[in-house]
Structure 1
Amino acid sequence: MIKDALSGLGKKPEDSEMLLVLGDRDEDSQLATNLGAVYIDVKGKSETQMTGEFGSYTGIGRKNRY
């Protein structure tokens, strides 16, 4: 489904510097593996913990939230 959506935009996963999958299930982790993406397990984490983990991969901190 995600690859189809990217294809519809004329893109493919390799065109991205990094793909992130946020989730809380085994299926989410497997999706990340299939896409060659980074998986962040959000189950039971606070917003601060998730933001910190996200920032460790992207360099984006809380001050840069959109």
Structure 2
Amino acid sequence: MSASPTPQGLALLLIVLGGLVMLAATVGAAVTHEHVWKAVVAGGGAVQVAGWLLHGRRLRRLRGGAR
């Protein structure tokens, strides 16, 4: 196991997709000035946080931490 393991599988997918959605929604908000893009940015952030939480759960399980 490396010193700082990288996200894998579903966790990595959620992190990357959340970031891409946030980036696209930020560009959309800058171009169109529609308020709905703010909700899309927040949704992308929620997906990204879910990915990081899933990754953290995997790390705790691998290291034998509290369950």
Q: Normalized against structure 1, the TM-score is what?
A: 0.29
Higher strand content, 1 or 2: 1
Higher-Rg structure is: 2
Higher relative contact order (CA 8 A, sep 6+): 2
Q: Normalized against structure 2, the TM-score is what?
A: 0.29
